[in-house]
Amino acid sequence: MARFAKISSDNIVLDTLTLEESYMRDENGDPQESIGQAYLETNNNWPAAQWIQDTEARKNGPGIGMEWDPSNQIFWNPQPFNSWTKNNSTGKWEPPVPEPDDISEEEAQDGIIHWWDEENQTWQKCNANT
């Protein structure tokens, strides 16, 4: 099975679906994204170029509301905070200040986690259980 994302004209994932690879095979029996796109266009009334196949090389699996970045071939989650920037190598959003590694085992067992304080551009500790 292959998973495809239905992309809007402004590169937002509208839907995802799976397609049996038998509908994507070329004359040599190899699955091809372009054949899957053509099949989906014919059977779903949506332009072939706006069906993008999910692959490991594309960093993140697609989900409704995510942004497709055709230049970098990445599905992006929504930006968590205005100050965070895209890391094209990892496909992840990065804060302007790295998350500290200062939570002890005891704190972790008590539910202490970090949360990003956008206003002050710092990491804060909080209890996830409250």
* Cα gap 124→41, rounded to integer Å: 48
Please, what is the average pLDDT of the chain? 94
Alpha-helix residue ranges (DSSP H) falling in 4-122: 33-44, 105-109
pTM: 0.81
Read off the DSSP letter of residue 46: S
Q: What would the pLDDT profile of 9-49 be if each residue is shown by its tens digit?
A: 999 999 999 999 999 999 999 999 999 999 999 999 899 98
The confidence score (pLDDT) of residue 56 equals: 82
The confidence score (pLDDT) of residue 130 equals: 80
**Which residues neighbour 14 within 8 Å (Cβ) at sequence distance 6 or greater?**
6, 7, 8, 64
Q: Is there a contact between 42 and 35 (Cβ–Cβ < 8 Å)?
A: no
